Amino acid sequence: MNAFTDRSGRAFYAGLLEGLIKVMGMWHGYLFQHGPRVSVIALRLGRSFDLDRQQLSELFFGAVLSDLGMIGLAEEALENPKPSLTEGARTEVQSHPKRSADTVSAIPYLGDVAPLVAHHHEWWDGTGYPHGLSGDAIPLSAQILRVADTVAALGEDRPHRSKLDPGDIRKEVQRALGHEFSPEVGKRFIGLMDQGEVHDFNDTFFRQSMLKAVEHLLPAKISGVNTDQLLEIFAGLIDAKDPYTGGHSRRVAGLSHAVAERMGLDESAQAAIRAAGYLHDLGKVSVPLRILTTPTHLDEAEYLEVKNHPGAGAHILQTIPSLQHLTTGVRYHHERWDGMGYPEGISGGRIPIVAQILAVCDAYDAMTSGRAYRTSKSHGHAMETVDQCLDTHFAPRPAGAFLTLPFEIFHRIKLSEQPRERDAAQPFTERLRTRTRSTRRTARQEG
């Protein structure tokens, strides 16, 4: 039994890490699967330097999480790629190693990976970023990651070019020796290529490598506190996509847990519903920012993209064994009791109970939070709307339990933030919200 199929805390935690990697791929559009490709190349290089298992495990996670700080940066440039970045977008992109390191340092058990992530864009000749380190001042693992990152990129299609064949990649690496790359690391990579030891990406090898890294870096038992911290970070990444929804997933998780408890569901069901609340909007990372922030009504094609997000999120969870039990809640949280919801239009008792609970909590928080197209509603107005929509939009039992929750629960969940969790997400969520609000004001003034 391995870390992805047992029922220990490590299995669930490892599944969340895998989900985080998959979300990064969805967010980056044409950079899909870039991180996993970098990790496979980096591991082969690392083994040629006889790195020990600890170093290889850190190198693996450094590779797959090195672009975590790209989330919320140059969003338009990533979603609508052009041959070259604007100066502003380039400046933002160059800040991503530090942002990645800040976020990785907040993930329990991965703190030692943060320095590697922070230096993965430093160049041997000192012309890299963010600190302009040069030569052996750059840690060996970061030197390895620099080669792997560039090689993976050269083997991928980009807006300004098609992917290069192995012969051309070899020439590019040779040309960059002593400039971008450490001569020793670059020559080691060329040697591996010449020996046929650099292969095309293999998903099986990637998953096996993840298993080994997880088993080495994570303890056998992981506390609920640490799992909650990772869920908070994960939810913060999801909510960062939409500048109007900061804290939305956390609040839905808290409210859903309270409703499940009120309904008398057992503790395991409560825990699953709470986790599903954190991840219910997972698929929104694939929805373009221009759609999420439009102040006008969506056209049919745009609305279809929004309606696809429950299925997109469920698809990710379905591929991760230890998270599969959360799939139904994520897939069906926009279904309605009367069958008028989406994505499948199922009704009544055919809607899983976890999705019934998520639906009412999600709708309440959406009503009491501002959106691009409307202002927020009061608690009283939202509660009245839930009551009016009982038996049509919402399932009667969960909605009834929701309506009997004490006001103190809403007050605590809506207004209270744990500083540790807020600070872990702040590097990308708050700056994204601030920048988007500024952009919107500018657009109104120019219009």
Q: What is the pLDDT of residues 66-100, one digit of tens each?
A: 988 887 665 666 666 666 777 877 888 889 999 99
Top-confidence residue, 429 or 166: 166
Query: What's the domain range around 146?
Result: 33-217
Let me know whether 282 and 347 are in one domain. yes
Q: Is the predicted pLDDT of residue 54 greater than 80, yes or no?
A: yes
* Torsion sign over Cα 317, 318, 322, 328: positive
Q: Is the predicted pLDDT of residue 421 greater than 90, yes or no?
A: no
**Final residue in a domain of this structure, among 187, 217, 247:** 217
Q: Region 180-189: what's the mean pLDDT?
A: 98
Let me know whether 51 and 128 are in one domain. yes
Q: Region 102-119: what's the mean pLDDT?
A: 95
Let me know whether 293 and 402 are in one domain. yes
Any idea which of 125-129, 131-135, 157-161, 196-200 has the lowest mean pLDDT? 157-161
Let me know whether 423 and 290 are in one domain. yes
Residue 240 included in any domain: yes
What is the tens place of the pLDDT at every residue in 223-246? 888 999 999 999 988 887 776 667
Let me know whether 279 and 328 are in one domain. yes
Let me know whether 210 and 190 are in one domain. yes
**Other CB atoms within 10 A of residue 176 CB:** 18
Residue 14 included in any domain: no
Residue 157 included in any domain: yes
Highest mean pLDDT among 155-159, 197-201, 254-258, 420-424: 254-258
Q: What is the pLDDT of residue 89?
A: 75
The amino acid at residue 248 is H
Top-confidence residue, 130 or 6: 130
Which pLDDT band, with edges at 50, 70 and 90, does 295 fall under? Answer: confident
Residue 17 included in any domain: no
Residue 5 included in any domain: no
Query: Exposed/middle/buried for 442, CB within 10 Å: 0-12, 13-18, 19+?
Result: exposed
Which pLDDT band, with edges at 50, 70 and 90, does 43 fall under? Answer: very high
Let me know whether 208 and 252 are in one domain. no
Residue 19 included in any domain: no
Q: What is the pLDDT of residue 433?
A: 42
Top-confidence residue, 38 or 198: 38
Q: pLDDT averaged over the chain? A: 86
Q: What is the pLDDT of residue 27?
A: 67
Let me know whether 391 and 301 are in one domain. yes
Q: Is the predicted pLDDT of residue 412 greater than 70, yes or no?
A: yes
Q: Is the predicted pLDDT of residue 444 greater than 70, yes or no?
A: no
CATH code for position 316: 1.10.3210.10
Q: Region 34-38: what's the mean pLDDT?
A: 92
Q: What is the pLDDT of residue 120?
A: 97
**Final residue in a domain of this structure, among 162, 185, 217:** 217
Let me know whether 191 and 230 are in one domain. no
Let me know whether 200 and 245 are in one domain. no
Q: What is the pLDDT of residue 90?
A: 81
Residue 370 included in any domain: yes
Q: What is the pLDDT of residue 372?
A: 59
- For the chain, the three-class secondary structure string (H helix, E strand, C coil) is CCCCCCCCHHHHHHHHHHHHHHHHHHHCHHHCCHHHHHHHHHHHHHHHCCCCHHHHHHHHHHHHHCCHHHCCCCHHHHHCCCCCCCHHHHHHHCCHHHHHHHHHHCCCCCHHHHHHHHCCCCCCCCCCCCCCCCHHHCCHHHHHHHHHHHHHHHCCCECCECCCCHHHHHHHHHHHECCCECHHHHHHHHHHHHCCCCCCCCHHHHHHHHHHHHHHHCCCCCCHHHHHHHHHHHHHHHHHCCCCCCCHHHHHHHHHHHHHHHCCCCHHHHHHHHHHHHHCCHHHHHCCHHHHCCCCCCCHHHHHHHHCHHHHHHHHHHCCHHHHHHHHHHHHCCCCCCCCCCCCCCCHHHCCHHHHHHHHHHHHHHHCCCECCECCCCHHHHHHHHHHCECCCECHHHHHHHHCCCHHHHHHHHHCCCHHHHHHHHHHHHHHHHHHHHHHHHHHHHC
Residue 18 included in any domain: no
Count structural domains, the chain: 2
Let me know whether 286 and 407 are in one domain. yes
Q: What is the pLDDT of residue 30?
A: 60
Q: What is the pLDDT of residue 289?
A: 78
The model's pTM is 0.84
**Final residue in a domain of this structure, among 185, 200, 217:** 217
Top-confidence residue, 123 or 156: 123
Q: Is the predicted pLDDT of residue 164 greater than 70, yes or no?
A: yes
What is the tens place of the pLDDT at every residue in 299-356? 899 999 999 999 999 999 999 999 999 999 999 999 999 999 999 999 999 999 999 9
Q: Region 131-146: what's the mean pLDDT?
A: 97
Q: What is the pLDDT of residue 243?
A: 62
Q: Region 2-30: what's the mean pLDDT?
A: 72
Q: Region 212-218: what's the mean pLDDT?
A: 93
Q: Is the predicted pLDDT of residue 160 greater than 50, yes or no?
A: yes
Let me know whether 247 and 204 are in one domain. no
